[in-house]
Structure 1
Amino acid sequence: MKSNSVSQAVVAPYADALISLAQEQNHLDAIAKDVRLIGDTLADSVELTQLLASPLIGANVKKGVIESVFGSSVNVLTKSFLLLLVDRKRIAFLGEIVKEFKALLRVIDQVSLAEITTALKLSRAQEDSIRDRVKAMTKAKSVELDITINPDLIGGVIIKVGSQVVDASIRGQLRRLKSSLTAGV
């Protein structure tokens, strides 16, 4: 079994359980907000991610950190879930559980995720234009953008929605031009 499939076997049940419990208790919006906060906090703090993943740090220390970082800012259900992950020695998978939860939430809310790679920061108008095009392409109610800036593209944009990829980058155009020129030789 590959490590990715092992982590998926761990991650999916916990994300499913959290989303199911949130729906049953009519707290889905609050829990979703908490999960976004947790994801943002983990993304902003490499130290926190490393601490939670470390097998050398005891459960009580991890619970204390969770209490101090998220204690009053998250729903009681969310905090209980985090403490359960510590007890079950699954807290190292928290970042992946957050991603899986967000993916499940997008399915429930009929939201498409568009992964955007661009050479420069996009303006609000450009983001809205991409959202509108992806919405038309996927028939989703709304579109969430995950934007990555990669100066190697030179210019333009690459849009990935599910398995569909639209490469409108200058680098992609140059690559296609090169292959068409060398194909004729």
Structure 2
Amino acid sequence: MAKLVSKVYGDALFEEAMEKNVLSQWYEEIGALRTIFLENPDLAQFLNHPQIIKEEKKKVVEAIFSGKLSDGLLGFLVTVIEKGRQNDMIPICDYFTDRVKAYKKIGVVQVTSALPLSGDQKKRVEDRLLETTGFVSLEIGYSVDPYLLGGLVIRIGDRVVDSSIKTRLEEIRRDLMKLQLA
């Protein structure tokens, strides 16, 4: 259900941002808003409290965010509260962010290696990914997993490219297990 709510509200927010030509601005503001909700659990608890009336919640949100969020985005936040969907604010933000990234062809990539990569190696990985994907730019996160032994594991959305030595050794082991000695 939360997926459907985030899609409906996220799509509406995206369409309004496109219509008003404020997509980049709202993208930045939504990122900040998401961070505020994550770092302030008391705010989320207040907004989700069943005994606090919606009018009081809207007043508090307007007092906090007036002048800090664009009027359109503040209005959207108030609408979310009016509809009682404030508990879905993080998934709505995430959906909107993903939709903007898809529209702007920004790839989100996670690269795992056995050892930390140098700046030159990171640049080559990024250049190669830009050549082989349809993305215009990339947001790349790097992590180290010594159990890989060597090579890389690259995750782009739900796609995984695993060229690690660990995986190759596992494939060889499985192939050897299939062989029957005569």
Counterpart of 1:142 (choices 129, 137, 142) is 137
The range that moved more, 91-100 or 168-177, is 168-177
- Are residues 1:13 and 2:8 paired? yes
Structure 2 counterparts to residues 89-100 of structure 1, below 5 A: 89-100=84-95
Deviations, residues 98-125 of structure 1 (Å, cap 9, x unaligned): 1111121122212222233456665554
Structure 1 residue 95: Cα displacement = 1.3
- Are residues 1:104 and 2:106 paired? no
Aligned equivalents of 2:129 and 2:24: distance in 1?
24
Contact 2:57 2:81 in 1 (8 A): no
Aligned equivalents of 1:11 and 1:154: distance in 2?
36
- Are residues 1:40 and 2:35 paired? yes
Q: Output the aligned Cα RMSD.
A: 3.1
The range that moved more, 83-92 or 147-156, is 147-156
Residue type of the alignment partner of 1:7 = A
Counterpart of 2:60 (choices 61, 64, 85) is 64
Structure 1 residue 178: Cα displacement = 3.8
Structure 1 residue 62: Cα displacement = 6.9
Bigger radius of gyration, 1 or 2?
Answer: 2
Counterpart of 2:17 (choices 16, 22, 30) is 22
Counterpart of 1:179 (choices 156, 159, 174) is 174
Aligned equivalents of 2:114 and 2:175: distance in 1?
24
Structure 1 residue 52: Cα displacement = 6.2
Contact 1:63 1:83 in 2 (8 A): no
Structure 2 SS opposite 1:139 = coil
Closer, same or farther in 2 for the Cα pair 1:140/1:67, shift >3 Å?
Answer: same
The range that moved more, 13-22 or 108-117, is 108-117
Counterpart of 2:45 (choices 48, 51, 64) is 51
Deviations, residues 14-39 of structure 1 (Å, cap 9, x unaligned): 11111111111121121111012123
TM-score, reference length from structure 1: 0.75
Structure 1 SS opposite 2:110 = strand
- Are residues 1:85 and 2:84 paired? no
Contact 1:112 1:144 in 2 (8 A): yes
Identity percentage of aligned residues: 22
How many equivalent residue pairs?
Answer: 177
Structure 1's unaligned 5+ residue stretches are 1-5
Contact 1:39 1:98 in 2 (8 A): yes
Contact 2:108 2:138 in 1 (8 A): yes
